[in-house]
A and B are shown apart, each in its own frame.
Chain A
Amino acid sequence: MNTTEKDIELFDGYMDGTLSDTERAQFEERLRSDEAFRKAYKLHSDVVLGIQRKELKAMLQEQEKQADNPIEATPEDTNEVNAARASSGGARKVKLFVSLAAAACFFFGVFIVHDTFRMANLVGEYITQLEQPLPRGSGVEETLQLVYDDLQQGNYSEAQENIDKARELVHDEQIIIHGLTKETDEESLYHQQMLKLDSDELDWYQALLYAKTHKVFKAKKLLKQIAKSDSRYKDDAAAMLR
């Protein structure tokens, strides 16, 4: 069958669902009764799907590329380096030790105050760039959405309450899954993985909240944990620590 411009419009209209009820009924009748027409439509839809598949694959690969952006290795912890250097130096005169300790206290004191404000400012950018919690059909999502809203609106005490509530929900779901299913069955593994994603999201929100409310030590500790884990926020946490 030689397809015309009009046929192509008709095929596209049927695929997009833009034909009227009568037109659609006529089209379907023709698909049933006219083999050449059916073959022409099949060829058209196969080619259209091929075009769309090409674009979809390109889009997913682009996303993979963005996710694979190499992150530089996190520098060694400064305190650990300093400790190693100190222990290799052997005995130190008490006078020298006291002087160094005083200098260190001063240095770290300034550093901590500076770091507190720097981190609180930095985290503001992360909060404004936060994406909506990702849709995946978990029961904890609703509370995660509340935490997200609280962080966006600067309601930090409510955000903390909702984080605690979401953690309880995750905990309860874990108990239910553990009690009702065999650990090895596929459904159970799947739910456990979904809960792991929820927990990762909660940890990230908690770290941002600590940082925003000037709890720098807690924030750093949690960010280090996230950076070392397989959380999808590990790269963000590593970047923030740097």
Chain B
Amino acid sequence: MMTDRQIIDGFRNNDRKIINGFYAANKGAFLNHFRNSYGKSEEYLLDLYQDANVTLWENIQKGKLGKMTSTLTTYLFAVGKYKMMANDRKFKEMTTEMDLQNLDLVDSDAEEMEEKEEKERKIDEIVNKMTYPCSDILRMHYWEKLSGEEIAMQMKYASTDAVKTQKYKCMQKLKQAVMAVF
């Protein structure tokens, strides 16, 4: 039986099966809950659900869930609610003090979150424009977590040093593009 701890490990290691399984398992309940309680459109709810999963994944990567006292699903719902609050002034007015107390699982400043999301959006735009070979080498290294040898073999590089140098160049290119925006 899979525990929350195992699911967190799966998220940390970008385990496709576990992430997809968790996503599919909670989707219906999440959409129903936010649809019935707040009457949002399906498109909005789907975006909200995906964003909540991405934030959950990010917070796991940052080690924020180390001392979690609630279940992972409750945490996901709280993230969804918090995101809705940040996006929607009307919803913010509907949120009671008790709701806010329950949201101490995530960063508490909605303005700060908005700013952070804007920054992430700009970084995402830059990352999305990446082309071959950077898109492949960085995906293999940072998402699939392949070793230098495995990347060299798949991308037909002569050595792991060549992979390291190419990865370095790609990262520098991305960083320069990000620095130019901020």
Q: A and B: partners?
A: yes
- Alpha-carbon distance between A193 and B34 when the two chains are bound, in angstroms: 12
Evaluate contact between B128 and A141: CB separation under 8 angstroms: no
Asked whether A5 is an interface residue with its Cβ less than 8 Å from the other chain, the reply is: yes
Report chain B residues within 8 Å CB of A4.
168
Given A193-B29, A193-B33, A232-B24, A52 and B142 contact (CB-CB distance below 8 Å):
yes
Residues in B whose Cβ lies below 8 Å from that of A230 = 28
Q: Interface segment, A40-48, A102-110, A168-176?
A: A40-48
Q: Does A59 contact B (CB under 8 A)?
A: yes
Interface 1/0 per residue, B1-39 and A, CB below 8 Å: 111101100000010101111111110110011001100
Sorting the interface of chain B by its residue count into under 10, 10 to 19, 20 to 34 or 35 or more gives: 35 or more
A49-B61, A135-B2 known; A193 vs B124 contact (CB < 8 Å): no
Within 8 Å of chain A (Cβ to Cβ): is B165? yes
- Interface residues on chain A, size class: 35 or more
| Contact of A43 with B165 in the complex, beta carbons under 8 Å | no
Q: Does A186 interact with chain B (Cβ within 8 Å)? A: yes
Q: Inside 8 A of B20's CB, which chain A residues have their CB?
A: 59-60, 63
B168 interface neighbour in A5, A43, A52, A61, Cβ under 8 Å: A5
Write out the residue numbers on chain A whose beta carbons fall within 8 Å of the beta carbon of B24: 63, 67, 134, 232
Q: Is the CB of B19 within 8 A of A56?
A: yes
Minimum CB–CB distance from B182 to chain A (whole Å) comes to 9
**Residues B54 and A135 in contact, CB atoms below 8 Å apart:** no
Looking at B69-77, B83-91, B106-114, B149-157, the stretch in contact with chain A turns out to be: B69-77
Q: Report yes or no: A50 in contact with B36, Cβ–Cβ below 8 A.
A: no
Query: Within the assembled complex, what's the spacing in Å between the Cα atoms of A52 and B55?
Result: 12
Q: Flag if A48 contacts B72 (CB, 8 Å).
A: no
Binding site for B on A (CB under 8 A): 3-5, 8-9, 43-44, 46-57, 59-61, 63-64, 67, 131-132, 134-137, 141-142, 145, 186, 189-190, 193-194, 196-197, 230, 232
25 A-B Cβ contacts within 8 A?
A: A3-B172, A5-B164, A8-B167, A44-B171, A46-B178, A47-B171, A47-B175, A50-B120, A50-B124, A50-B126, A51-B127, A52-B143, A56-B14, A59-B16, A60-B23, A132-B2, A135-B18, A136-B26, A137-B71, A142-B1, A145-B1, A189-B37, A193-B28, A196-B29, A232-B24
